[in-house]
Amino acid sequence: MKNLKNWVGEITGAFSATLKHAFAERDTVCYPAEKPDLPERWRGRIILTVTPEGEERCVACYLCSSVCPSSAITIQGAEREDDERRYAEKFEIDFTRCIFCGLCEEACPTRAIQTTNDFEMGASSRAELVYDKSRLLENHTGKYPDFDYFKRAGVPIRGKDVGEGANEKPPVDVYTLLP
């Protein structure tokens, strides 16, 4: 008797769940016809961004490549010919190694490297998944529309001499003897 009661209960329970879900709102989307709506802070395809003035933000400080737990980033820095502004001559991310942990973004002092909510990176060979600078660099500021590291640093660059940065006094006069 007790068995029969359980049996009936299980069947009706299962069928009612099925019926309920048959008419419920759908979670599945018809990808790729329909795109999922991912939050902005999703950790997807990594990009390099530029300052509001359109200069490359990355200063080749090697912090992202050092913090990367899967050694996915390879950088070589160089100096710009006319003003010694350091930039990444070579910047490579191997997305076959990247685990999308976002540590590089956290480590970056210049907000250059950013994760995006794009995850569509399928490729038919491993080599295609090694992105060089031309595929990483995008011509926008990403999530941080205002930040410009060099404005706050003490080194002179084109258009900003020593003492012209944020919060800086003009350089001292080397030759003055006045108190």
From 103, 129, 130, 135, residue interacting with ligand SF4 (rule: CB under 6 A): 103
Residue 71 touches other proteins, criterion: CB under 8 A: no
Of 108 and 157, CB closest to ligand SF4: 108
Q: How many angstroms from the chain centroid is the CA of residue 50?
A: 12
Nearest distance from C-beta of residue 164 to other proteins, angstroms: 9
Query: Binding partner of residue 54 among other proteins, ligand SF4, none, CB under 5 to 8 Å per kind?
Result: none
Query: Binding partner of residue 34 among ligand SF4, other proteins, none, CB under 5 to 8 Å per kind?
Result: none
Q: Look at residues 8, 63, 127, 84 and name the one whose alpha carbon lies nearest to residue 75.
A: 63
Q: Which long-range contacts (CB under 8 A, 24 or more apart) does 2-7 make?
A: none
Residue type, 31: Y
Q: Look at residues 142, 127, 43, 41 and name the one whose alpha carbon lies nearest to residue 92.
A: 127
From 10, 53, 79, 106, residue interacting with other proteins (rule: CB under 8 A): 79
Query: Binding partner of residue 169 among other proteins, ligand SF4, none, CB under 5 to 8 Å per kind?
Result: other proteins
From 47, 50, 59, 157, residue interacting with ligand SF4 (rule: CB under 6 A): 59
Residue 157 main-chain phi, psi, to 5 deg: -135, 175
Residue type, 157: I
Write out the two tokens for 93. Answer: 């991310």
Q: How many angstroms from the chain centroid is the CA of residue 160?
A: 28
Q: Look at residues 71, 30, 163, 57 and name the one whose alpha carbon lies nearest to residue 111.
A: 57
Nearest distance from C-beta of residue 26 to ligand SF4, angstroms: 32
Nearest distance from C-beta of residue 21 to ligand SF4, angstroms: 36
Residue 146 touches other proteins, criterion: CB under 8 A: no
Nearest distance from C-beta of residue 40 to other proteins, angstroms: 25
Is the separation of the CB atoms in 95 and 131 below 8 Å? yes
Residue 109 touches other proteins, criterion: CB under 8 A: yes
User: Binding site membership: which residues?
Assistant: 58, 61, 64, 68, 98, 101, 104, 108
